[in-house]
Chains A and B, each alone.
Chain A
């Protein structure tokens, strides 16, 4: 079976840095996505990693280690609006374009 693990909840304060980890054990791997989802809204794309290393995009960065089956999403200079669920999703080679999701990490940012 496919297994993607993320912490269920995290808390942080405004202005801080938070790292959300994702580990995966899957039969095949063809890339990892991070999505942000505010309550009652659509998941929105944050990043895509297929090669090892760090991808930086503004306040958000995503890292991938394929050999370790590990990724993290790094959020800097946290703002209240960053309070949301963060979803890690893997594409398997065999499954084409179907996304395999973790359960998501609910991040609460306080002032």
Chain B
């Protein structure tokens, strides 16, 4: 069974540009999560999809971030325009079950550097 995959693995962009990150969850997992780790800080929750619907987007930092999951399969996270403080590692995770005990399977992350 393939794990959670993320593309690209690394991205370097200039301030003001747009970047789109992609996440492919484990097949059959309805729940998809985005997290972010800024250097020196802990991994922080961004949002949670159940199928194509946003269940919880309380962690999205501002309206420069747009997440979509059309069709309830893969998801994209767009940052437009990117700022220096957006640099970090963006993780995607998926789970089959919904609820507090559901194991979340993480992807390897996309390292975003904004210069």
Contact = CB atoms under 8 A, between A and B. Distances in A.
Contacts of A4: 42
9 contacts: A42-B105, A43-B106, A96-B56, A97-B31, A97-B48, A97-B99, A98-B33, A100-B45, A101-B43
Contact of A42 (B33, B42, B48, B107): B107
B104 A99 contact: yes
A98 B50 CA distance: 12
Main secondary structure of the interface of B (DSSP, over half): loop
Contacts of A35: 106
Interface size class on chain A is 20 to 34
A35 B22 CA distance: 23
Interface of A: 4, 30-31, 35, 40-45, 48, 50, 87, 89, 91, 93, 95-104
Main secondary structure of the interface of A (DSSP, over half): loop
Interface string B31-44: 10101000001111
B56 to A, nearest CB: 6
A68 B48 CA distance: 30
B14 to A, nearest CB: 24
Contact of B100 (A40, A44, A87, A91): A91
A21 to B, nearest CB: 16
A42 B108 contact: yes
B101 A31 contact: yes
Top 6 nearest A-B pairs (CB, nearest first) are A30-B100, A98-B45, A42-B106, A101-B43, A91-B100, A43-B106
